Chains A and B, each alone.
Chain A
């Protein structure tokens, strides 16, 4: 199975709050898990990525948590800002540089 399931489809968070987006995968051969941010009319931009040998990776306000046994990973956006309002996609692949399987996306709105 190549599917990656993402939830929620949409999310509204107050400024300063924590945004949490979850993804689950089925293919245990996946070993690279990136998150992308997409603004309207633009292409996806890589935010942060993790490999299954670590359980957490943090870059600024963005943190990925990874649970290999549950085959789940999540994105946490701390101190969410209106400028974070965008669509977020999780993805997975077998090795970096190979085809990415994307989740369905989460439309985040951060209210001022």
Chain B
């Protein structure tokens, strides 16, 4: 049973380009969460999705950032027109039910570097 799979592990983008980060939840998990970790800081919540629905996007920047979790395929975090301040590690977590926190498993993250 593979864990939460994130790809790519490392992503380098020039300022102004788009970044697309993918997250495949654990088998049977229908809840996905995205967090961002700046260097030397804790993780900050971005968005919570279920299949085809955004449940809570209170942590998402209002512009340039979007997320989706389609019926088929991985969840995608999309950052348009990246800036240097977007450089961070982006972690995805999944769970099988909103009440089962022990199913809240993190992936290994995507480290985005904007040059």
Contact = CB atoms under 8 A, between A and B. Distances in A.
A6 interface: yes
Interface in B83-115: 91, 93, 95, 97-102, 104-109
B42 A96 contact: no
Q: Which has the most chain B C-beta neighbours within 10 Å: A41, A45, A98, A101?
A: A98
Interface residues of B, number: 29
Interface in B58-100: 58-59, 91, 93, 95, 97-100
A46 B101 CA distance: 9
B101 A44 contact: no
Given A49-B101, A99-B59, A105 B41 contact: yes
Interface in A53-112: 89, 93, 95-105
Given A43-B4, A43-B91, A97-B31, A105 B42 contact: yes
A34 B93 CA distance: 15
Q: Which of A32, A34, A42, A99 has the most CB of B within 10 A?
A: A99
15 contacts: A32-B101, A41-B108, A43-B93, A46-B104, A97-B97, A97-B101, A100-B35, A100-B43, A101-B45, A102-B35, A103-B42, A104-B41, A104-B42, A105-B41, A105-B42
